[in-house]
A and B are shown apart, each in its own frame.
Chain A
Amino acid sequence: MNEEDIKERVREFLAANDPAADRLGFLRARFDAGLAWVHFPPGLGGLGAPRELQQVVERELESTPQLRPGVQAIGLGMAAPTILAFGTEEQQRRFLRPLWTGEEIWCQLFSEPGAGSDLATLATRAVRDGEEWVVDGQKVWTSGAHHARWAILVARTDPDQPKHRGMTYFVCDMQAPGVDVRPLRQITGEAEFNEVFLTGVRLGDDLRLGGVGDGWRVAQTTLMNERVAIGGAPARRGGGMIGLVTRTWRDRPELRDHDLHQRLVRLWIEAEVTRLAGARLREQLAAGQPGPEGSGMKLSFATLNQALTGLDLEMHREEGLGYDDWSFRRSESVDFAGRDIGYRYLRAKGNSIEGGTSEILRNIIAERVLGLPSEPRVDKDVPWKDLPR
């Protein structure tokens, strides 16, 4: 299948479906036509076509109803690739369509108060009871749990195994009895995150994703996709956060000084070479030569975003002393570039923590890409239940 075939498909689809009519109906039809994510298999929103042809579809359907990337990010970027890789056919048919159309929002129940960078030490238990699992534990930093219909969940099913081996991956029904979502106020003043308490939550065995005890391997798929999703650099020169700051610089000559100028030019260059590295990575993926560069994109994104938002705030001088709104509210979606300069500065602080801290990412690069030896591990072959905590 090539670019022309895809364009022909889009033409046929548009001839049969009016984008100006019902938004949801249009998105459902787009999924059914295989134009949701063309690299997915037929019947699951795709055409089994090469991944790079997706951008052709996006261009052709630019002016039609779009997804809501903010609230759908976890579903699209993390849950979907995991369900595709490990879900049964029944699970794929049940979950992928409403996930893509946004009828059902997803969140991620991974981190716990006692398991952050060391995610594999997590303590939420899932105990088998006939055809069901009973889940008890506490999850934290759960973006969008207050909107979510479903969650991807990792829980401990065998405490006698070493920590990486005794976990299982589930889809959690966020409407099930025993799921309690509580907002967690952040330094921005709003609550984008939540704490999620799971008390005697019963999940059918048909909600298990992958084998019993195979949770860590399944979770790796989610985590790799998360880093690519967060670190995805803007494809356009001068786009993203650097574009925002540079526009202000051009529009507001009174804010300029020499020190800021030198720093801004350096950051502009860093943003540009990072964008080029991202473009090169996408070319490698499309050419079927996956490079290890992906692990670095999220790390550079965090560093750059923090430097840029800091400079932006400083540049605004007196205006930077204010803040748009401290009132406590639930966020509608995750938006790094939204609201005002103070919010963006504070929100960016999370970029080097969420989705793998920058320190953990440096370990991953050092060990998996550069082949450097790991630190001595004291917890490797010890049953999880005997680990100090």
Chain B
Amino acid sequence: MTSLLYTEVEEELRSAVRDLLADTCAPASVLAGLGSPPDPGVWKALAGDIGVAGLLIPDEYGGAGASAREAAVVCEEIGRSASPVPFLTSAVLATRALLAAGTPAAGALLTRLASGETTAALAVSFAASPYSAVGGDVRRDEDGTLSGEVKAVAGADAASVLLVPSGSTLYAVRAADATTRPVPSLDQTRPLSTVTLASAPAQAVGEGIGDALLYGAGLLASEQLGVAEWCLSTTLAYVKERHQFARPVGSFQSIKHRLADLWLDVVRARAAARNAADALASAEDPGLAVAVAQSWCADVAVHAAEEALQLHGGIGMTWEHPLHLFLKRAKSTQIALGTPGDHRTRTAQLADIPAPA
């Protein structure tokens, strides 16, 4: 039976992830670490000790065999802390692509991912939409090597294996055999890279990338929910404490009404994100639930961050306040894995709201 609430197991996982991230990865320390490579110890603890790297990997490959519902809770917490960890890129996108491949080679890679010893990235643009084809950037030469360039790849900086779609085949390439060049990114907590392959040795692991992008888009909604929740709760705390005109600014109706509306958007984002995670975890076709959640949550996260900035006044505009981490992450994820417009177009098709001729 479908449920939009959180189970006890999900709440336990949440508090384990939240405690770890609060200790090792609070917004202030993320802020202080910007520009230098992220501390690999955080991901190691999250991946290995709590076991999130293998959350979506079945038992037979050494994973936890959990579903999108549990992974979504991890995404929420990562969004709430703007943590620079490769959960979405390795444990969701790369993992789902390998699961779709279903070959022994893919299975061997999944076993390494599940233990946390190996981190992978799917070499497609983070802006790729689940509704368009991928694999056009890289060609396979007669000698079996791959050549080409893929821009805006998320998580490649942290990956030791790259999963590269070329034509209709998915290949595994050792990161050491490719050139991964980080580029300045709007969201510095999820740096993007240009991946260049020049006659790189590659092993075919399967056909295509399966539902990886749609699955990722569905879980990204939960990350956006986490971002929006941080923005709302941080702003609430600030307007209760900040005084002007001898009153807390949060006692003015012009502020209260904006926050009430934002709260209502976040309440609905939670329902939509839960519904998408639940649909991805069940046998039903998750297409509509994902498109609805991604179009709604992407916009709510951006709106929440923008409202947070405005309601913080001048301090929200400073580098020293962590708010900009959330604004940049929100705006980047709005573009990632399909824009709200892409997801609305898909919604129109699936809900039978035909466009004009």
Contacts and interface: CB of A to CB of B under 8 A. Distances in A.
A283 B239 CA distance: 32
Interface in A250-266: 250, 253, 256-258, 261-262, 264-266
Among B5, B260, B293, B347: residue with most chain A CB under 10 A = B260
B174 to A, nearest CB: 42
A199 B66 CA distance: 69
Interface in B124-171: none
A370 B264 contact: no
Contacts of A371: 236, 240
B256 interface: yes
Given A256-B355, A280-B5, A374-B251, A262 B263 contact: no
A249 B355 CA distance: 10
Contact of B356 (A246, A257, A279, A300): A257
A273 B271 contact: yes
Contact of B348 (A261, A363, A375): A261
A277 interface: yes
Contacts of A382: none
Contacts of B345: 265
Contacts of B344: 262, 265-266, 269
Contacts, number: 135
A280 B4 contact: yes
Interface string A20-41: 0000000000000000000000
Nearest to B343: A269
Contacts of B248: 372-373
B261 interface: yes
B263 A369 contact: yes
Contacts of A296: 260, 263-264, 267
B5 A363 contact: no
B248 to A, nearest CB: 5
A277 B268 contact: yes
Interface string B258-273: 0111011001111110
A283 B347 contact: no
B321 interface: no
Given A280-B4, A365-B260, A365-B264, A250 B272 contact: no
A279 B255 CA distance: 29
A372 B251 contact: yes
A284 B86 CA distance: 33
B353 A375 contact: no
Given A273-B272, A276-B275, A362-B260, A261 B267 contact: no
Contact of A284 (B5, B252, B257, B347): B5
Interface string A344-365: 0000000000000001011101
B354 interface: yes
A319 interface: no
Contact of A287 (B5, B264, B356): B5
Nearest to B269: A273
A296 B268 CA distance: 10
A370 B355 contact: no
A363 B257 CA distance: 7
Contacts of B348: 261, 265, 268
Contacts of A249: 353-354
A268 B4 contact: no
Interface residues of A, number: 46
The contact size tier of chain B is 35 or more
Given A283-B5, A366-B256, A268 B264 contact: no
A257 B357 CA distance: 8
A312 interface: no
B236 A372 contact: yes
A299 interface: yes
A374 B253 CA distance: 9
Contacts of A366: 250, 256-257, 259-260
Nearest to A257: B356
A250 B356 CA distance: 10
A293 interface: yes
Among B236, B356, B357: residue with most chain A CB under 10 A = B356
Contacts of A362: 253, 256-257, 260-261
Interface string A170-208: 000000000000000000000000000000000000000
A139 B251 CA distance: 32
Interface in A94-124: none
A362 to B, nearest CB: 4
Interface string B219-249: 0000000000000000010011000000110
Contact of A276 (B252, B255, B268, B354): B268
B260 A370 contact: yes
Contact of B357 (A253, A272, A276, A287): A253
A283 B270 CA distance: 14
A272 B275 CA distance: 11
Contact of B251 (A262, A276, A375): A375
A253 to B, nearest CB: 7
B292 interface: yes
Contacts of B256: 362-363, 366-367, 370, 372
Contact of B353 (A257, A264, A289, A372): A264
B295 interface: yes
Contacts of A269: 292, 295-296, 344, 347
B263 A370 contact: yes
Nearest to A274: B268
A375 B351 contact: no
B355 A261 contact: yes
B247 to A, nearest CB: 7
Contact of A373 (B251, B259, B261): B251
B4 A276 contact: yes
A376 interface: yes
14 contacts: A238-B351, A250-B354, A261-B348, A261-B356, A265-B345, A265-B347, A269-B295, A272-B292, A273-B292, A289-B5, A296-B263, A367-B256, A372-B259, A373-B250
Interface of B: 3-5, 236, 239-240, 247-248, 250-253, 255-257, 259-261, 263-264, 267-272, 274-275, 292-293, 295-296, 344-345, 347-348, 351-357
For the complex of A and B, 10 pairs with smallest distance between CB atoms: A366-B256, A276-B271, A362-B260, A256-B356, A365-B260, A280-B4, A373-B251, A273-B268, A277-B271, A362-B257
Given A361-B260, A363-B256, A370-B256, 10 more contacts: A269-B344, A273-B292, A276-B4, A276-B272, A280-B270, A283-B3, A289-B5, A362-B253, A363-B253, A372-B255
